[in-house]
Structure 1
Amino acid sequence: MSVEVDVLLQEAKESIEAAQNFRSELQQRLNGLNQARKQVRGSSGQAREALQRHFAELQAAATRLLSERLSTLLTEVDAIEAESVRPLDDCQSLVEYGVSQADELLREGEAALRCGLGEKEDKLGSFTKKAMHIQLESLPEVPALVDVPCVSAQFDDSLLVLLREHVCRHGSVASHPPVLIEELQERPGSILVRWCKVDEDFAAADYRLQYRRSGSGGSQYEDAYVGHDTEFLTLGLDPNTDYVFRVCARGEGRTEWSPWSVAQTGYTTMEPHAWRAGTEGYIVSSRRNIALRNDSAPSSCPVLYSNAPTYFCGLTLTFKISATGQPDRRDSLGVCVDGEKGQHSLQRDQAVCISTNGAVYVNGKEMTNQLPSISLGSVVTFDMEVVGVVPLTNNNNHISGLKLRVTIGSGSREVVFDWMLETAVDSLFFGCSFAHAGWKVLVF
């Protein structure tokens, strides 16, 4: 009987645990639904505000433009009226002056006719002279109506048609932005952001990536990248810190950017690649990602190592040359198992590297394959993947070694080879060595 009870108790505990897990999963889904609903309602509210603000600005601008145009046309009417009426006013003054002269002459003539015989001759003589002086047969010319401006206003009805057509097509509403962030991959002190276009009808010419630090102390968004690519490595990020990313696109032949994608939060747990400070012959920048060779003693070619073994297989290690000096066959850029001091080149055992002349060295031996020479602006990449663990014999001791598939790229060319390590390691150091001053290299 007790065995049956124990079984029932165990089944009950398992059922309770399963119910708790089930409830927890359902609660997470409820939280996801709440976040989705919040995104839909929040973005809809923002879209309404944007539409209302935009069309209010358009209405105000259109009203202002129409008012300005109306004022301009009214000013033109006033100018035409003033210019056309001025000669009419002058002619009217002349005619009115002639009318007043004629009235006065009529009064004198009538008075001359009514006067007595003794003074009639004098009055009539004076009247006749005055009439001859006024030139009663000469009348001022009054312009015909066809010669006088007749002011009118004309309107092009096609403006309303064009306006209606443009307004009907102005603006759009979409349920999703045309681009979205599809992947955030952590890198040493950086995050690789990949995005894609989800609107097949949207012809994207450029993309714009922005990011900001998350949290209450977050900063404003700042541009990280603008260009044609659909991925970008965002450098200079602090480990274990959330960063918010968003991306938008610009259509071909357009100046405005599309709506922003849904923001995505990412972070990196990996410390950034950094050069080891305090190495004689080298100056390291404040972020320790740039090294400058400043001592050109010809008898020395010291190696500058990374501060820690921060390169992991499966990632890409990149060196970028931002300044050059005199090349030397001992120069090298590469990775190694250890960061021992006293070495004078990476062209040694347990290291792979490329020289500034393009020669590739594996465990100190030069390969027959060669890459282009390194010059100003050159970018050298190292990619490694674990092929497998292989047995090795060292001083009659049977040990396990690591086989890595190494790809070194420089310019448009690359070499691929297998590198055997005597010990299995999780990460590797990187380093550089230059015999002459002037070389400056950025690592990321």
Structure 2
Amino acid sequence: MSVEAESLLQEVKECIEAAQNYRSELQQRLQGLSQARKQVRGSSTHTREVLKRHFQDLQATLSRLLNERLNTLLQEVDAIEQDSINPLDDCQKLIEHGVKMADDLLREGEAAIRCGISDREDKLCSFAKKALHIQLDSLPEVPALVDVPCVSAQLDDSLLCSMQERVTRHGSVSSHPPVQIEELVERAGGVLVRWSKVDEDFYPQEYRLQYRRSSSTHYEDAYVGSECEFLLLHLDPHTDYLFRVCARGEGRTEWSPWSVPQTGYTTLTAHEWSAGVDGYILSSRKNMALRSDSSSSGSASVLYSNAPSYFCGQTLTFKITAAGQMDKRDSLGVCVDKPSNSESLQRDQAVCISTNGAVFVNGKEMTNQLPAVTVGSVITYDMEVVSIIPANNNNPSDAISFKLRVTIGSGNREVVFDWLLDQVVDCLFFGCSFTNPGWKVLVF
């Protein structure tokens, strides 16, 4: 085959490969477009159902409340009517009884007048005595109309206006939630979730973060507060979790719609302290250590991690939840190894911070200093590889130089320096040492 034919064949192969890659990219975009279409259709259908259900519940509740109020008012009218009619009925019975007595007396008097002369005197005398006992000058009192109830209803027409105003402003529909998750960062035994608002007209007062396993249907609250990030711990490694966030607007009581759920996971196991070290008590998850007073007074030993679980590129965090008396030998930091006889991390092959804020690199104190460690202090370690300098082949005694860029943060201050090691390491131990009891530290 000629050179031109080989060149042409190679060009055709490259075109075929480019076409295959192009088709693959287009197919991936079609899948993404299909997912986007499903999200629009699915969220629209769900929102319609939510709106219908909500307004049906409102109608049923409002109708029930109005009927209950109507029945209450009608019962009040019935009570007033009954209480007012009873004395009038009694008065009517009394008057009707008097009318009957007067009728009887009239008939008896007329009969006495019409009777014969022989009986007239007796009958007239009997009638006069009877009339005297009836007390024809005594009349019952009938209440005036102004003194009896005139039942009426007072109805405030402004209720309808206010209801109409509230109903016309009740609920809203938006094409995008006002808050979205922007980043999921894996941490040891957890995931750092960061979010931000995407609606400039929305002014959040607080946020609400929820999560669930991908195999579950029930979300759990993880955080409610004003921060825009949260580190969710105690997650199982290599397990997918779904995260979503919403917000409550300033001056509002209801929560906004949820953000689009994002899937996150961690491949890093949770940090744990080593168990069985004299002078330290661990929590059930072994991520919190308490310096007890069981060891000899004034002596200290280093409590290390149970494995070299800190990797460069990650953030290691110590949080002080209780504090004891300071000692210049106290230390919190990372190291290459964990010798059993060390009393502090202020030694070779380690970097640390003391409780008084002093920073030590390979046992030497730096001039830069951080704030003193107290209850609530959060100390972070971030490291990245700067360079690896191989040994000189002409001089086999030269060791490999391994340089790490270390950033230690505490409070609102941080120190940055290069840590030179004589060996390449891809993972490090962490540790702490406290001379006096009462210190409690959480690592994550």
| TM-score > 0.5, shorter chain as reference | yes
Distance 1:112 1:278, change over 3 A: closer
**Which aligned pairs between 1:360-399 and structure 2 lie closer than 5 A?**
360-388=359-387, 397-399=397-399
Q: CA deviation at 1:389?
A: 5.3
**Which aligned pairs between 1:163-202 and structure 2 lie closer than 5 A?**
163-202=163-202
Equivalent residue for 1:335? 334
Please provide the CA RMSD for this pair: 2.7
State the number of aligned residues: 442
Equivalent residue for 2:106? 106
**Which aligned pairs between 1:317-336 and structure 2 lie closer than 5 A?**
317-336=316-335
Give yes or no for the alignment of 1:149 onto 2:146.
no
d(CA) in 2 for partners of 1:209, 1:353: 34
Indicate conservation of the 8 Å contact 2:403/2:418, yes or no: yes
Q: CA deviation at 1:151?
A: 1.9
Selected match of 1:223 from 221, 245, 251:
221
Give yes or no for the alignment of 1:353 onto 2:334.
no
CA deviations over 1:92-117 (Å, ceiling 9, x no partner): 11211111111111111121122111
Which AA in structure 1 matches 2:201?
D
Task: Tell which deviates more after alignment, 206-215 or 293-302.
Answer: 293-302
Q: CA deviation at 1:260?
A: 1.0
CA deviations over 1:261-303 (Å, ceiling 9, x no partner): 1100011222332223454554444433223444422475322
Indicate conservation of the 8 Å contact 2:385/2:403, yes or no: yes
SS of residue paired to 1:191: strand
Selected match of 2:272 from 271, 274, 279:
274
Distance 1:148 1:441, change over 3 A: closer
Q: CA deviation at 1:2?
A: 5.5
Equivalent residue for 2:295? 296
Q: CA deviation at 1:233?
A: 1.2
Task: Tell which deviates more after alignment, 56-65 or 6-15.
Answer: 6-15
d(CA) in 2 for partners of 1:320, 1:392: 39
d(CA) in 1 for partners of 2:36, 2:142: 83
Equivalent residue for 1:85? 85
Distance 1:164 1:339, change over 3 A: same
d(CA) in 2 for partners of 1:274, 1:307: 6
Distance 1:415 1:12, change over 3 A: closer
What's the TM-score once normalised by structure 2's chain length? 0.90
What's the TM-score once normalised by structure 1's chain length? 0.90
Q: CA deviation at 1:388?
A: 4.6
d(CA) in 2 for partners of 1:292, 1:124: 119
Equivalent residue for 1:62? 62
d(CA) in 1 for partners of 2:189, 2:22: 38
SS of residue paired to 1:13: helix
Which AA in structure 1 matches 2:224?
V
SS of residue paired to 1:428: strand
Q: CA deviation at 1:12?
A: 3.6
Task: Tell which deviates more after alignment, 157-166 or 347-356.
Answer: 347-356
Task: Tell which deviates more after alignment, 395-404 or 175-184.
Answer: 395-404
Equivalent residue for 2:24? 24
Aligned residues with identical type, % of pairs? 71
Equivalent residue for 2:138? 138
Which AA in structure 2 matches 1:161?
C
Equivalent residue for 2:315? 316
CA deviations over 1:116-163 (Å, ceiling 9, x no partner): 111111111222222233233433333333443222223221111111
Q: CA deviation at 1:201?
A: 1.8
